[in-house]
Amino acid sequence: MTAYIIRRLLLLPVLLFGVTVIIFGLLQFLSPVERSALYVREIPHTEGAVEGIIKRYGLDQPIYVQYWHWLVGRIDPVTGKRVGGILRGDLGYSRVGSQPVASLIAQRFPATAELALWAVVPIIGVGIWLGVQSAVRHNRFFDQVARVFSIIGWSFPTFVFGLLVLMIFYAKLKWFPPGRISDWASAVINSGQFHQYTHLYTIDALLNLRFDIFWDALKHLILPVLTLSYLNWALLLRVTRSSMLEVLGQDYIRTARAKGLPERLVINRHARPNALIPVVTLAGLMVAGLLGGVVITETVFNYPGIGSAAAQAAIQLDVITVLGFALFNGTILILANLIVDILYAVIDPRVRLE
């Protein structure tokens, strides 16, 4: 197990290097003037000043030199200090957020993390349960209903379902509002008397014993969580059901039943663990997608997370910010795949020997 984990960890720097090469390659489609936005907030309009910026930051040097400077930074000939470098947290300046891209990501990530935290349990837990029960009750009433549920959910565009639940639960019933928090709760949070330990409003509200703010933050999360859950249940149900049906047809399952083992034991101990291998891959990608920001859902519900910030940057052609988000999402995806590989070895010991 240890050797397997070490092999996967050794691949991590190689994959991260590949992501940086791809992102830097995309940067080369920009002109040196546009790439200078990585280092300055406002590009001067005079021709001499622009050429000075390009020369100062080495944007006219060979591509491998530019890549090294972009990666680790370079010594500013004017100030003598090291500037830039994504490894130093400098992803450029965001015109959309009027702040460095890294600061914008740090500001928006807690909202996205909170949404992912509340969505991941119902998505994975309920999705897998529905898939397992559908396979166990193959071609019976539960299975038929689950398949219809899956087809409808898989066919629904995210923005259509989001607008539909907004129309019902907010416009008509006035139950669950969009956004992240109400104005009165935001005033309390920013008053200085409310301690933000994690910047996750629901958790911080509980730590501050402010159950009114907890309920307000939770009300704002219900509709986006419902939207993400229903649409992901459809996919997770189909994959789990298909994998479970394949496992239930194996010889060792028939042997376990022939020995007289209780059906519950056959399902939970012999069938389900082996059926979860493809499901773990899908669940890992779902979690990575949630942490990377769900653009459509956050936009529909006016939720101030990473996804909505990336959408605003794309609309305003803020390429530096978009590529910064792409680098962030790529890193999350690589880490998620690493965790999935480790979970493979936990679920199926045969993977460790490959």
Instruction: Note the pLDDT tens digit of each residue in 43-93.
Output: 555 666 667 777 777 777 888 888 888 888 777 666 767 767 788 888 877
Do 90 and 103 reside in the same domain of the chain?
no
Same domain (yes/no): 106, 173:
yes
Number of domains forming the structure of the chain:
2
Run of H or E including 82: strand 82-83
> How would residue 39 be classed by pLDDT, with cut points 50, 70 and 90?
low
Same domain, 23 and 163: no
CA distances from 177 to 160, 192, 219 (A): 17, 25, 7
Residue 72 and residue 195 in one domain: no
Same domain for 117 and 88: no
Q: Supply the pLDDT for residue 214.
A: 92
**Same domain flag for 251 and 186:** yes
CATH of the domain at 339: 1.10.3720.10
Given 94, 111, 143, the domain boundary residue is: 94
Region 324-351 average pLDDT: 80
Q: Do 105 and 18 reside in the same domain of the chain? A: no
In this predicted model, what pLDDT tens digit does every residue of 242-269 receive, in sequence order? 888 888 777 777 787 787 778 778 787 7
Q: Give the structural domain span for 9.
A: 2-94
**11 and 152 both lie in a single domain:** no
pLDDT band at residue 221, thresholds of 50, 70 and 90? very high
Quick one: 347 and 199 in the same domain?
yes
CB 288 within 8 A of CB 332: yes
Query: From CA 34, how far away is CA 30, in angstroms rounded?
Result: 6
Question: Which of 94, 116, 141 is the C-terminal boundary of a domain?
Answer: 94
Q: Does 114 share its domain with 13?
A: no
Q: Which two tokens stand for residue 122?
A: 């119902």
Tens digits of per-residue pLDDT, 137-187? 888 888 888 888 888 877 778 888 888 888 998 888 888 888 888 888 888
What pLDDT is attached to residue 218?
Answer: 92
Q: Fill in the amino acid letter for 141.
A: F
> Does residue 38 sit in the same domain as residue 106?
no
Residue 353 has pLDDT above 60, yes or no: no
Final residue of a domain: which of 35, 62, 94?
94
Shared domain check, 188 and 332: yes
pTM above 0.75, yes or no: yes
